[in-house]
Each structure stands twice: as C-alpha cells, then as structure tokens.
Structure 1
Amino acid sequence: MRIKLILLCLFGNLISLAAQNSIPVNLTEASGSISGKVVDKKTNQPIPFVNIIVQDNGKVVSGGITSEKGLFRIKNLELKKYNVEIQYMGYKTVSKSITLSVNNTNANLNTIAIEEDAIELKGVEIVSEKSTIEQKIDRKVINIGKDLISAGSTAAEIMNNIPSVSIDQQTNAISLRGNPNVRVLIDGKPTTIETAQLLQQIPSSSIKQIELITNPSAKYNPEGMSGIINIVLNKNTKIGLNGSINNGVTFGITPKLNSSVDMNYRNGKINWFANYGLNTGKRTNYGFINTTETGLEDFQDYTFTRNNTSHLAKIGFDIYINEKNTLSFYTNQNLFKGKSGSLSKIDFVDPSKTDINQTFNNKVDNFSQTYNIDYKKNFKKEGHNIELEANYSDGDNKEDAFYSDPRTNYITNKRNNTLINLDYVNPLSETLKLELGLESRIENARNNFLLNNNYNSNFKFSRNIYSGYATIGKQWKKWSSQLGTRIEKYEANADFNKVDETPAKFNNDILTLYPSGFLNYTPSEKNSFNLSFSRRVDRPSINQLNPIRDWSTPQIDSEGNPNLRPQFTNSFELNYTRKTKIGSVTSGIFYRRINNEITRTLVENPNDPSKQTLSYANLNGNNAYGFESSANLDFTKWFSSNMSVDAYNKTIRGVVSGKFLEANVTAFNARMNNTFKASKNLRFQFSAMYQGKDLTLQMLGKPMWKMDLGSSLNVLKGAGTFTVRYSDIFKTMRYRFTSEYPKEQYGQFNWESRSVYIGFNYRFGSGKNKAVQRKTRDQNESQGGGVL
C-alpha cells in the first residue's frame, strides 16, 4: 500500500510539473521565427513528429517537431541566416536556407513535401529479416530478426546462439565470456525472478534485441563481474494501429508452443502498446555417471522432465504532453506454472551397499509483476534534459517437492524491489557533455520452508543501495572520451533460522567508489578504436549466503555460507572495428583482475561421511583474460554471414574433499550464421556452433558442436513470414565429461537438441515510425542514455 501511495503522489507531482512547464514565457526582446507544414509527397497527408533542426554554420542552435497536423513553428531566433533541415525516419532529408531580418522576422516555409527514401527503407527491411550485431561504444547489440538465431521457444535458446554467451543445457545457468557472474536485466530493469527460471519464461518471439554490456560506465549499477545482459522486449511506436502475431511449434521428443501478440495504437499525443507471450511444453533430459574409483564403483542413471507454461504480458502508454515533456508508464505481468520430475538410480558394484532408486517430483507456481513510470523533460538546448523514473516489482514463488525417501518440501519465496532514478544530462558545449544521476534501490526477500508439513526453517533478507554518479564526456577532432565515477552505499541484513540449530545472521555495510573510463579514436570512417575501464562488484546472493540446505541428492547436499564477502573486479577492454565494403569486423581483448574471488567448495558432510556438502568460499586474487572477434558481412546480394570466435583464459581455484585445487582453463567457442537469398521472398539459412572443452575443479567437459538448417518465406505481400528450422541435424550436442575429484568418474547428459521448429509471423498496420526522442533509458547507451 505504501508503494502505491508513493507512486500516486509521484504521478500527481509530475502532472503538476508538466502543467507549470506549459506556462508561456514573455519575451521582451525582438526575435524571429520559422514556420511551415510537412506532408507526405505521395499522399499529401500531414506527417506529425518530424524533426525540424535549425543550424547556424553547421551548429545546431534550435529545433522542434511537427504537430499532429504536420505544423511547426520555431521561435526565439536571432535575426540572421539559417539552414533548416527536415528529418524523418524512412524519408529523405530536406534542407532549406532562410534569412531572418528586421523586415522578415517571421519566415514561413509553407508546405514542404518529403518523399520516402527507398534505400533506407530497403535497409530497414533487411534488418527485420535477419538478426544483426551492432558494435557500439560500450556494448554489443543483437537486433533480433526472423532467422535461425531467433527461431525457438525461449530466451534461453536465443542466448545460446549469441556470441560470448553460453547457457548450461541442464540448469539454464548463463555465463558471459566464460564467467557466470553476469547481471540480467529486462528492459533495463532488475527482476525478482531467478535468471535460470527467467530465461525459460520469456518467449523468444517477445524479444526485440539483446544487449551485451561487457564494460559498463559509471552510470550503470556495478553488479556483475562479466557485465550486463539486457533483454529488450518488443514495443511498437508507429502511428495508427500496428502489430504482429507470432506462432511457433518446436518438435523434439514432445512439442513445445511459442506464441506472442504485439500491438500498438498511436493517435494524437498518446501511444498505447501491448505485448503478450505464451510458452508451454514438456522437455526431457537424461544421462549417466559411472564411478571407476577403486572400491567406490557404481553406475548412476538419471532422467529429468519439465512441463512448464508461462504467460508474459506487457502493456503501457506514452503521453507526449508537448514538445518538451513526455510521461510514460508500463507494467510487465508474468505467470509461470511448472511441473518437473526426476528418477535417480544408483547401482553399487559392492554387494554390501544398498542400491538407491530415488524419485523426485515438484510443482512451482510463480507470479511476478513490474510497474514503471517515467517522466522526461527536454530543455530548450538540444540534448539538455532531466528524467525521473520509478520502478516497482515483486514476485511470489511457491514450490511443492516430493521425494521417495519419503520426504516432502513446501517452500514459499516472496521478493520485492523498488528502484528510483533521477538522471540529468547537459551538453555544456558542442564537444563537452555532463551527466549526473541519483539512485535508490530497496530489495526484500522472505523464505519459509516446511519439511514433511512441519516448520523447518526460514530466512529474511533485505538490502538497500543508495548511489550517485557523475560522468563527463569530451570530443576533440578524431578523439572522444568519457570519465566517471559512481559512489555507492550498500547495506544488507539477513536472518537465517532453522529448527534445532543456532540462528545465523548476515550484516554488511560498505561505502565504495566505482570509477569508469572510455577513450575512442576514429582515424577514419572505416576504422575506430575503443579503450575502456570499469570497476565491478559481485555481492553474495541469497542462495550463496543461506546456510539452510538448498537442495539434496543421494550423495550431495547444497548450502550457502553466511560469512561470504563481496568480490571486486577491475576490468580493462580494447576493441577495434573495421568497416569494409561488405560489412564490419570487430575484434577485442579484455583483462580482469579479481579480488576476494567467490568460488565453489566440496567437502565431506560432517553429519554423514558418506555424503558431501557443496558450498561457497572467498579465495585470494585471480586473473582472467580473453579475445573476441565478430563480423557482419554481405559477400554478395544473395549471401551474407554473421561469424564470431572467442577464447578465454582463467585460473580456477577451490576446495574439493578438503584439498585445495588450482588449474588454468582456456575455453574456445565459434559461431556462424549464413543467409542465402534465393529470391525477394525466399531465404535459406545454415548455422553452426562449436563449444570447446570446459575444465572445472571437478571435471573436464569435452567439446560440443552442432549444425542447423532453416528457411524463411515471405507471403501475403510481405506481411507474413514462414520459418522452418532443423536443429542439431547430426545430434552431436551432448555434455560428456571425465572427473578425478572427488573420485574418478565419467558421464554424459543429453537433452532435446535435435528438433524441428515451424513458425509463422504476421504483421499488420502501415503507420510510420514516430520521430520524437524516446526515453533516455530506452536508448540504453552510456553517452546520452543508459540504465542504472
């Protein structure tokens, strides 16, 4: 209730502020103005929200946008000569010269007819057909098209086709550049859903683009050693009624359905938008582990099934109060229901040991919701703005688990977080820009655990983070730079209680600085270099801190460590982008220095010597470095390709069976996605992926690879697209491993990697994209935008 009152009061204040901003200002000095009307050259219809830019010798001095009737009027101009540019997405830019004088203070350009840019429109069409990778100053942006990269059921399947990202097929754990310490955001905001579950809940057809921010600036929250992955959901802003309908079915062992509806209605000063996605189906994993350690020989067989259904809805609106003030609101609603089961069989070679057959079944109900309100005010000076945003989300997760021991677990998790941001951007000059911001983040989590219908344990966890940042950007000739720092006050408290055990507590209070820096050098249009630095932090999660047993198998218990400390990372990165006639190639190297590294431990269970306990601990400093290269190339009009390779090296350390272990690990991965355009409407795709060996303290994972084939066909005059994909045609994707610690073993796990996907996308409406500037946080860029 308190949160709702806060949002209501905030909404009222924003409306009041907007009303105050609409009061006209009386000018005492004589000044000039430029007016006119913009229409479509073919239809002669007025075009709203066209950019009008007024320049004085190449310098932007003023500007505005057209009204609903295509009219514009730029006031308060000095009496001199100007160049006026009329810019609108998908149309050719028109330039007009005008001179304001004492005898001509109000210049009327009359009706200006602009025509569509066929080249630009063609480019937009190509992007929509295939996924493209765009390298920006501080991130890699994957724009999701309708090709093999995007064809699938869930966000997890898309992620596994993206450079630098890996998804564990058994657990859905995500890693970036070989590191699992990555922060995942939805529309630039944190979520209360666990990442592994989140990636299964988001339908692939609801995703617009994915941003890999490997070295974020001080404007961003510093969590995540390897950076940030931001999943941007679909949102349309075209004029009139527009939308798309997506339906897809993946056939593996069993069929899985993936559907979504994306709509918007833009009329006058209000844009309504809505998106609904459905993902449902049953998935099967299976595998074995054989122990060859003398005296401990056994044969273990496992079967896992998951039957999940998720509903994801996004609805909201933008109100363009006037040319300078915008108010936006949206809500995400996520409903997830899942059933899973497993069968574990352990056959001991030693006849004195009793074989084990354990079944496990659980049911999960999860409901999460997010509410976001944003107000942005643009000042007279181009790029000068202030933005206030409030975001509230909560989640309610219930799990019922049944073991054949017999044993039952009933778990309830409740989480909520409140995020308030204030951002200010001021271009002090043409080459100098200042950005300031404040953030307040309040998070709470509660858990209650019943064992065999009796109270067993509970915990309460809360953390408050208060921060402020400042960045300054400077451009001179072929160089540009940005320096900044973020100061953050972090407070965390937790109480862990369990029957017959001493209560455990966790307290942390830290004040820390997180500096960042970017340096760009562009010697020519075809070459650019980017050097960046940032300080990051990985704070222990609830699962890592909670000493209460999280899960159990016949041989291993998992629990957290309340004595964990945060780990800090200093990250350096150098990238080079080369543009050619057929596309662009970006290559880069990175280095990380990690302090107080959090790592896994596996030790003997003090209460049961036949079992082991999996937990966490802090170790000393560590180093990691790597290389990446990706290319977007159009070899001919009918053949294009996205290719990437990456290699990482790191030192892994930990405790296994009471023994400290250390090893150097080098991982290599490669991906390729080729598109062959047979005709205007027919395309074929061939993709391949290679994942090199993976070494952990306990096992050596062997290399994996796969090949996919697919095709897309445009129908209904381009309004519809059929997509077909045959994944893992040689059925080579499987996880095979050998292990020496804590005992000699080898094994293999399989999933439904070989599958056939059939999808259809239908688009309706023909409105033009609006040209008014979007919210800063929708742009998500370090210089001129971003999320905290």
Structure 2
Amino acid sequence: MKFFKVLFFIPFFLLISTLSLAQQRNEGNKITFSGKIIEKTSSLPLEYATVTIINPTTAKPVSGAVTDNKGEFKIQVNPGTYNIKYEYISFKTLETKGKNLTTNTNVGTIALEDEAKQLDAVEIRVEKTAVDIKLDKKVYTVGKDIIVRGGTVSDVLDNVPSVSVDAEGTVSLRGNESVRILIDGKPSNMGNISDALKLIPAEAIDKVEIVTNPSARYDAEGGGGILNIILKKGKNQGINGTFVASIGDPRNTGLSANLNFKQEHSNFFTTIGYNNRSNPGNIKIDQQNFDENGALKSILNERRKNDRFGEGLNANFGIELFLDKSTSWTNSLNMRTNKGGNIENVLYYNYDALGQYLNTRQRYNDLKSTSENVDYSSNFIKKFKKDGHKLTADISISQNKDNDNSSIEGVILDNNKFVSSERTRKNDKQQRNLFQVDYVLPIGKKSQFEAGFRGNYVKTTTDYQVQERLTENSSFTNIDEFTNILQYNENVTAVYTQFGSKINKFSYLAGLRFEDSKIEINQLTSDIFKTKKYNNLFPSLFLTYEISDNSSISLNYSKRISRPRDRFINPFASYTSNVNLFQGNPDINPAYTDAYDFGYLKKWEKLTLNTSLYYNHTTDSFEQVRKERGDFVFTPVGGADVIVNGEIVTVVDGEDIKTPVIVNTFFNLGKNDRYGFEFTLNYNFKKWWKLNGNFNFFNSQNTGSYTYTNSKNEVITQSFNRNATTWFTRITSKVTLPYKIEWQTNGTYNAAQKTAQGSNKGIAAMNLAFSKDVLKDMGTISFNVNDVFNSRKRIQDMQLPNVNSHSEMQWRRRAFTLSFTYRFNKQKTEREQKPKQNGNGNNDDEFMG
C-alpha cells in the first residue's frame, strides 16, 4: 500500500515534464552558446563570472549567464550577430565584437587576466542567489543572508532549505533527525553536535551543502542525509579580508576577521572569531498523576527558567601551497575554546487531587562548562593532464575536551527547609583520526571512474560523577546510581567505487561502498563490555535524463546506516532532573535505511524549481520511550526529610507527596516508513525583489512495540504503531528598498504532528533583517530580529499510562542584533573561488553536479 501511495504523486511530475517539453518546442529556434572561463595565471576555473550577449545596434544586453563551479556556461539565444562580454570582478573585461552565431557554438576556454587596480571601476551586474539548486544537492551561501549575521551555525542551519532546528537545537533534514552533520567534509568532534553548532559563529561559515540522498562516495552514516558545513578559506589574489562586529540583546557581542594573502605559489588564510552570548529560555510543564485505577492523585506544575551563556574563541590558520600548476598542498589548524554555563531555576508547585495547594519546591542548578577543540587537517591534490583526472589525499587529527560542573540545591520555599544538595561533574574526551584517499579517472569524454578509501577512528571517554549531601550540614558522598565511566570506541574502515557515464541526454552513476565497523562499549563502572562487529555493503544508483538544457528528471537510490552513539548506549542515567531522566541502552543496534528519491529540476530565466518525491524504509529504527521508574517522594510543609540515593525519605508521620520518575530511553523499533514530497523555488521577481520558498510534506509510519517491567514488577507492552502526517514550509523574501537598503524576511511554519505518546503543536515564527552599505560599499550595517513574535516554542501534549503532561519549551527568546561589516581590497559582490574540500569526497567536479 505504501508503494502505491508513493505512485500517487507521479502524475504530478509527468504533468510538469509535459509542460516543459511544450516550452522546449516553443524555444526550438534558439541555439546554444557555451564555453569555459578560467583565471589566466593559475588556469583555475572562475565561478560566478558573467557572460553577457549584447545587441550591437542597441548596445543593450539580450541574454547572459553566470559560470558554474567548473567555470562553464551555456546560453540560449536567437541566431544573429552579437557583441559578447566576459567579466569577473577584479579581472580585466574581455569583449568580442561582431560574433556571428548561426549554429550551436562552443568558444572553448576564455582566460581572464587579473587586474586588481580596476577593482573600484567594475560595475556590479549580477548577484548570486543565496540558494544554488542542483539535481543532487542544494548549496546555501551564507554571505548573502543578513538574517544570520551575528548568529551561530544553528541560526544558519535554521535558514537552510529542507532543514529545521527545533526548540532544543536538534537538527532535522526533511523532518528526519537521523542526519549526518559534517564540517569541511569531516564529522564534528565537538561532543554533542547540537551544542557544538551553537559555538561556531555564522561569520566563519562560507556555505552549507544539503545532500538528501548521498552517493557511494559519501559516508554511509545518516539515514536522513548529510549536511556539510564549509568554513571560509580565502582564495582571492593579494591581501584582502573582512571584519565583522556585532552587539545584541539578549547579550550577543561578537568580533570576527577573515583574512587571506594569496601569491602565485601560496595562499595564507585565517579566520578568527570571538563571541560572548546569553540565551535565556524557559520551560512550562503541567503534569497530572493518576493511580492504578485511573483516578487523579496529584498535580505537579513545573516552571523552569534557563540562562545559557558562553564566551568563545574560534581561530583557524592555514596555508595552501601551489607546488606546481597541477599540485597543491593545504595545511590548517583550527582551535575552538568556550567557557559558559547554564543557570537553571526550577520551581515545582505541588497540589493534591482536588487542586488544593500543598507546597513549592525549588531546584536551583548552577552549571559551569568549558570546551576545547583542536583540529589539524592536511589536504593534498594532484591533477593530471586530462581534465578531471586527479588524486586527493586527506588527513585529519582532532581532539576535544568538554568539562561540566554543576551544583544543585533544593529547598521547600514555604518554610525554607532543606530538601537536597547535589553536585555533578562530567569530563568528556574525544580523539578522532581520519584518513581518506580519493581517485577520479575520466574515461573518454562522458564517462568517469572513481575509487577511494576512508578510515574514521574515534575514541571517547566520559567520566560522570554525581554526589549528594544527606543532610544540610553533612559531607558529599557519591550516588552510585549515576556515577560512572564509559569508554566508547568506533572504528569504521571503508572503500568505495563508482562509475558514471552520459549517453546523449541520459546519465547514470552506479556505486558500491563497503564499510567494516567495530564498536567497543566499555562501561568500566558496571563491568559491561560489549564489542559489536559488522560489515555492510551500501549500493547507490543515480539516473538522470535531461529534458532540455534547463530541465531534467532523476531517480536515485542509496542504502544508509545510523549508528547509536555513546549517549544512546550508556546504561547510567544523566542527572538533570529528579523526575525526568535520560538513560542509554547498551543493547541498541544500528538502524538501516533504503532511500529512494525521484526529482525534477527546471530553470527559467527568473525562476528555478526543484521538486522531489522521496521514500525511506528503515529497519531497527531508533524510537524514544518514556516509562515510569517509581516515585520521587517528599513530605508536605511540617515534615522532616532526609535524602537517600537522590530521593527524600520521610522520617516522621505524615502524608507523603509522590511524583512519578520518568525515564527516557531509546530502543530499536520494528520499522519506520517515511514518504514525502518537497519543492524548493528560487524566484527573481524583479531586480529589487527575490523570493525563495521551501515546502516539505511527509508521512511517517511506525510498526513495533516496546516491552518492559515497571517498578511494581508488572510487564508492560506498549504499542508504537502510529501513522503521522505533517508538513513544514519556509519563505524568504529579499527586497531592495530606496537608498539601497536591503530588507530580508524569513517566515517558517512547522505543522502539528502526532508522536508515539502524544502530539506536538504547530509552530510559526518570523525573522527580520535590514542592511545598508556604507563607506563606498566597503562597509555594511545590518540589524536583525530573531523570532519577531516570540513564538518559537515547542508545545507538546503527552499521555502515559499514569501521567498526562502539557509542556511548552522556549530554548531562547526574541533577540535583536546590530552588526557592522568592513571589507578591504574586496567588494561586496566579489566571489571567492570554490575551496578545495577536505574529507568525505566532497570534490567540486561531481559527475552529476
């Protein structure tokens, strides 16, 4: 049945294809003018160079194009005689007059000569849109987006098509949280990825690649796809750079510099950023507790205020050496440090079954954290005589340390009576060594063979300690239920090969990846030692048919894997709340996904449309279950209390107040089927108005159940069968107002969604930004408002056998940011050449790019 539901959408695509063919017939009289533009001194392709075809009689442009990442261009034009102009900012303009075009013409390679002295005289003609849509991926350029200035990578991702970031910072792609996030083609070694993304400033990001269905060249990790965050690396000739300063409310102070010095045989580049931020948020939970007979026995209203803060420094230094015209070697060192914390004030208002007030308990948590990350990368590229024939080798060695220390105090506010006193310590260390070799061999003019090796070896140690004081004046002792040391080692060795060819208008790319995985889980405290070894084949197949020069359809397939990480595995619970715990499952296994994607891409003069119909079938998928683990007990006003193993035990007569303790954990569900439809639009409505829209509709069906034994030794089987449908949309509008003021609006809506144990409400939010160029376009002043209506909240209703709860979570409130950008020896629309990517096979010359 699911397959037939997928087929239901196919007539829609056929209708679009028919309309495109009709348009193609109407344009049948036009010819194609094509070629390639390179930099004369280095022979590197010039991306974003402008080609303009001009009517010699009227001296007005009749058509034009911008070169792609290979420096190539194609223009549809009526036969005739024209003047043709080739331009790239800071390069000499080349013009050919009286060119007679009667048939399809390829002018070959055009070499432009650098002339820095002409920089101020070049007329700004073309602006690249923030989103570049390709058949196999979308590329989001950060530099054009004024909304994210002064923000972090989390803010950047929350503006990327197909991507959403929820109230807790969790990233999902097409609604799927099983997404692999890479930085410069490498996995992040910064601990919790959601927290890591909040540490890197947006100014350090060049672009984000969104790969919804990766080929065999990419890591097989990530059932929902891959997000590759590319950091800035200067590529322009001479000394140039950009400085950005920002200030905001809540506190958001930032300074960053992106500098590079490029000569004939070398390029030095650096990015340095400092930030000092505060992110206040709040949580509201209203909980009803029932007895075995379903009768209401108590009410708990929880109110939590958070003040997350951090002060961080990010520095990247590198040098690219051009050993000869065909060989380059890049070495870079990246360092990140952050000091911060989270002051959390939690109030528990307790009521009896009749709603009569009993007391208020306070839990005050003062968390201090530090993070240090060092990453060394080396990238070697050898290009051979034949265009596209090259060998790439990468090495990355990185180390990360995260230390968290918190003190937690609990009192009954009504009489200021001591309830609890705890302190926690968490020390994380991670070492990652990555080695990769990729080889690309063109065969003939339209075929290509690829092969590669990748070794990713990770070692993580988590030392977690929780201590308590039994009375107000006693000393601290360990709580053995939480204190533990976990070692997690993940060694994945992979080889891949793929072959692609183009036959007339039909292209194919077939690949096979083999990954050998060895996972070691060493729970040193409880003597749990598990080693999981498995190896898998991951095939991929990509088929493309070009309907015309501006439209194509594709059918793609790939197999993916999602491996559980240390947090999912550790059987010791984390101690963030007395009544809400997170506990890992050491027996959880990887999940496997078969991903299918049917896409259509169409480009008009002002409009680009990319649509996709997708279906993912996952076995052993991860599902989070909430189950009760007994009661947290405390005494109303007037009683005396002591603390035993984190729980209050009454030592005098009186009626105890019992609050169920909820444990959150993951297990392997039977299967999950997800299918959906997505489209992305780029529309240059006018020179002064650009629109970008993204819509994603999907259905998720779970099949499976979970069985456990509760605190009363009862066997509980809970069904997780569900059929949930939801959708997500984002619209971005960019308008040029009078006096060259740019106005950008971003609106998002996440529709309501059913979950296995409740439902999530819909979320609507809006961001605004304004910018104005000053100092002869060398500087820019920007002002943005994040979450204009203060509405970005996760609202959730949950029903458990003995608990009903309604929660509202706001990770951070509305924020205002003012920033100033200054560029020297670099114009606003000047584009850096595409950097050579490290790791994960993200080469620029993808066969079907």
Same structural fold, with TM-score higher than 0.5 when normalized by the shorter chain: yes
Distance 1:427 1:749, change over 3 A: same
| Pair 1:48-2:46 in alignment | no
1:487 deviation in Å?
0.6
What is the identity, as a one-letter code, of the residue corresponding to 1:365? T
1:213 deviation in Å?
1.0
Q: Which residue of 1 aligns with 2:809?
A: 749
* Structure 2 residues without counterparts, runs of 5 or longer: 1-37, 47-83, 98-108, 290-295, 410-419, 468-475, 633-658, 711-715
* Structure 1 residues without counterparts, runs of 5 or longer: 1-39, 41-45, 54-84, 97-108
Cα deviation, 1:169-224, whole Å, max 9, x if unaligned, reads 2x212111111111111111112112111111011111111111111111111111
Contact 1:728 1:753 in 2 (8 A): yes
Q: Which residue of 1 aligns with 2:283?
A: 287
Q: Which residue of 2 aligns with 1:205?
A: 203
1:50 deviation in Å?
3.9
Of 597-606 and 255-264, the range deviating more from structure 2: 597-606
Identity %: 23
Q: Which residue of 2 aligns with 1:444?
A: 459
Matched residue of 2:324: which SS? coil
698, 701, 715: which one aligns with 2:760:
701
Q: Which residue of 1 aligns with 2:226?
A: 228
Q: Distance in 2 between matches of 1:312 and 1:552?
A: 29
What is the identity, as a one-letter code, of the residue corresponding to 2:561? V
159, 169, 192: which one aligns with 2:189:
192
Q: Which residue of 2 aligns with 1:464?
A: 491
1:314 deviation in Å?
0.9
Q: Which residue of 2 aligns with 1:264?
A: 260
Distance 1:772 1:539, change over 3 A: closer
Contact 1:722 1:759 in 2 (8 A): yes
Q: Which residue of 2 aligns with 1:18?
A: none
Provide the aligned C-alpha RMSD in A. Answer: 3.2
Q: Distance in 2 between matches of 1:320 and 1:409?
A: 51
What is the identity, as a one-letter code, of the residue corresponding to 1:163? P
Distance 1:266 1:299, change over 3 A: same
1:166 deviation in Å?
1.7
Question: Aligned ranges for residues 374-393 of structure 1 at < 5 Å?
Answer: 374-393=379-398
Cα deviation, 1:245-287, whole Å, max 9, x if unaligned, reads 0112232xx3212331000001230100000122212111113
Q: Distance in 2 between matches of 1:783 and 1:262?
A: 23
Cα deviation, 1:45-95, whole Å, max 9, x if unaligned, reads x96224599xxxxxxxxxxxxxxxxxxxxxxxxxxxxxxx99995556689
Q: Distance in 1 between matches of 2:313 and 2:114?
A: 43
1:124 deviation in Å?
7.7
1:332 deviation in Å?
1.1
Q: Which residue of 2 aligns with 1:651?
A: 701
Contact 1:470 1:485 in 2 (8 A): yes
What is the identity, as a one-letter code, of the residue corresponding to 2:243? I
Q: Which residue of 2 aligns with 1:760?
A: 820
Cα deviation, 1:399-440, whole Å, max 9, x if unaligned, reads 112111211111111101101111111101101100010111
Contact 1:153 1:250 in 2 (8 A): no
Q: Distance in 1 between matches of 2:145 and 2:831?
A: 26
| Pair 1:183-2:166 in alignment | no
Q: Which residue of 2 aligns with 1:339?
A: 341
Matched residue of 1:460: which SS? strand
Cα deviation, 1:450-493, whole Å, max 9, x if unaligned, reads 33376732111112111100010101111111100101111111
Q: Which residue of 1 aligns with 2:316?
A: 314
Contact 1:690 1:706 in 2 (8 A): yes
What is the identity, as a one-letter code, of the residue corresponding to 1:376? I
Q: Which residue of 2 aligns with 1:296?
A: 298
Matched residue of 1:224: which SS? coil
Of 420-429 and 671-680, the range deviating more from structure 2: 671-680
Q: Distance in 2 between matches of 1:327 and 1:440?
A: 20
Q: How many residues align?
A: 688
Q: Which residue of 2 aligns with 1:670?
A: 729
Question: Aligned ranges for residues 671-750 of structure 1 at < 5 Å?
Answer: 671-679=730-738, 681-742=740-801, 743-750=803-810
1:755 deviation in Å?
2.5
Q: Which residue of 1 aligns with 2:690?
A: 640
Contact 2:836 2:844 in 1 (8 A): no
Contact 1:600 1:654 in 2 (8 A): no
Q: Distance in 2 between matches of 1:654 and 1:339?
A: 38
Question: Aligned ranges for residues 97-136 of structure 1 at < 5 Å?
Answer: 126-127=127-128, 132-136=130-134
1:290 deviation in Å?
1.3
1:123 deviation in Å?
7.2
Distance 1:580 1:311, change over 3 A: same
Q: Distance in 2 between matches of 1:409 and 1:689?
A: 38
Cα deviation, 1:578-614, whole Å, max 9, x if unaligned, reads 1112121111111000011121122232697932321
What is the identity, as a one-letter code, of the residue corresponding to 1:380? K
Q: Which residue of 1 aligns with 2:166?
A: 168
Q: Which residue of 1 aligns with 2:361?
A: 356
Of 293-302 and 197-206, the range deviating more from structure 2: 293-302
Q: Distance in 1 between matches of 2:767 and 2:445?
A: 49
What is the identity, as a one-letter code, of the residue corresponding to 2:675? Y
| Pair 1:629-2:653 in alignment | no
398, 401, 421: which one aligns with 1:396:
401
What TM-score does the superposition give when structure 2 sets the normalisation length? 0.76
Q: Distance in 2 between matches of 1:599 and 1:697?
A: 9
Q: Distance in 1 between matches of 2:555 and 2:214?
A: 12
What is the identity, as a one-letter code, of the residue corresponding to 1:279? N
Of 271-280 and 698-707, the range deviating more from structure 2: 698-707
1:125 deviation in Å?
5.6
Contact 1:94 1:114 in 2 (8 A): no
Q: Which residue of 2 aligns with 1:553?
A: 577
Question: Aligned ranges for residues 36-115 of structure 1 at < 5 Å?
Answer: 48-50=41-43, 90=89
Contact 1:440 1:467 in 2 (8 A): yes
Q: Distance in 2 between matches of 1:150 and 1:222?
A: 30
Q: Which residue of 1 aligns with 2:661?
A: 611
Q: Distance in 1 between matches of 2:267 and 2:750?
A: 44
| Pair 1:434-2:435 in alignment | no
Q: Which residue of 2 aligns with 1:137?
A: 135
1:661 deviation in Å?
3.0
Q: Distance in 2 between matches of 1:248 and 1:270?
A: 32
Contact 1:133 1:142 in 2 (8 A): yes
Matched residue of 1:197: which SS? helix
1:526 deviation in Å?
2.2
Q: Which residue of 1 aligns with 2:473?
A: none
Matched residue of 2:186: which SS? coil
